[in-house]
Every structure is written in structure tokens, then in C-alpha cells.
Amino acid sequence: MLPAPPTPRPQGDLSGTRGFSWLMPRLGGIGRAVGALGLALALLLPLSLAGCMGAAQPPRATLLSALTLQIELTQASIAEALGLEANGTPEVSRVRIEAQETLRIGETPALRLVGHFDWRLAGDAIRVDSPFELVLQPGERGQSWRLARATTAGDGSGPVWITYPLPIKG
């Protein structure tokens, strides 16, 4: 007796096939080779893309310095607007980067980091978990970093970037 003809499925319908495992027995040794190649590519692709980043990941000490400087600049701006005096250095800890991307500021590469961090003001017992967005520019020789902050141009032509050097911690 002959087997029944296969039931036609709509194109792209792989229901009941458990992924592509239905294809492997039909391909035999080729299927195993293709599977091994796919696994190798899946493992190596993220490593190869890391080389395309353009800017290396800054050290943890640089991130802490950049976040501290950003808080100090914000405090100074608020204090000036209110006619008060900004005082105290914030204590930054537990930095968690959730996303990063490379960008360019003019002709210079930069790294945009987004995440959360814990911090508290000097002499304050309350620790705050806050989101952050930093733009950091690596130095020409890759040994230093600068915090870049965008401000609006007076003529409305686009952002103007102001950069602040970060201390080199060794």
C-alpha cells in the first residue's frame, strides 16, 4: 500500500514541526553540517560585531566620573537658577548599562550609553536609583574620555556639543 499524499500547508506554516528538526533527517549528514555551521555563526557573529563598535567600552571608573560630573553640572545649573550655592560631591555606585550605540559628533566618534545607577548626595542617607543617558568621546589615543553634553544652538541650527574632560584613573 502506498503512503497517503502529504497534506498541503500554507507557505511558511511550520506548525507541528518543532522548528527545523523535521528537515534534519531528510538532509542527513548535510543537515548536521548546516546545523553546526549555524551554531558556529550564532556564537561568532556577536564577537565579530563588537569589533565594529568604533569606540571601546569605557572603564567603570570613567563611567562613575562621568555620572558624578553630570550630577554636579546639573546641580550647579539648578543652584544658579535659584540663586543658591551648590555644595557636596555626589556618591555614585551600581552602574547598569542597558543599551549602547556609537555615534559621531562632527568627525569624532562617540559612545551613547543608557542605563540606571544608584547615587546619593554627600551627607544624605537616602540612595536613589536613577536612569541616565551619557555621551562619551574617547581620546585620540584611547587613554582618556570626555563627557559630551548637547545644548541647543541660539539660531536653532541643531545641537551644539560641549565636552568636559574626565580624569584618568589608573
Per-residue pLDDT of the chain (170 residues; tens, 9 = 90+): 666 665 555 554 445 544 445 444 554 555 454 444 444 444 444 433 444 444 578 999 999 999 999 999 999 999 999 998 877 889 999 999 999 999 999 889 999 999 999 999 888 889 999 999 999 999 888 789 999 999 887 777 778 899 999 987 65
Q: Are residues 64 and 145 in the same domain?
A: yes
- Count of positions (residues) in the chain: 170
Domain that holds residue 106: 60-165
Q: Are residues 130 and 158 in the same domain?
A: yes
Is residue 170 included in any domain, yes or no? no
Is residue 21 included in any domain, yes or no? yes
Q: Are residues 81 and 135 in the same domain?
A: yes
Output the pTM of the full model: 0.64
Q: Are residues 66 and 46 in the same domain?
A: no
Eight-class DSSP state of 99:
E
Q: Are residues 41 and 108 in the same domain?
A: no
Q: What distance in Å separates the CA atoms of residue 106 and residue 159, rounded to the nearest whole number? A: 11
Q: What distance in Å separates the CA atoms of residue 90 and residue 93, rounded to the nearest whole number? A: 10
Question: Using only C-alpha atoms, what is the Rg of the chain?
Answer: 26
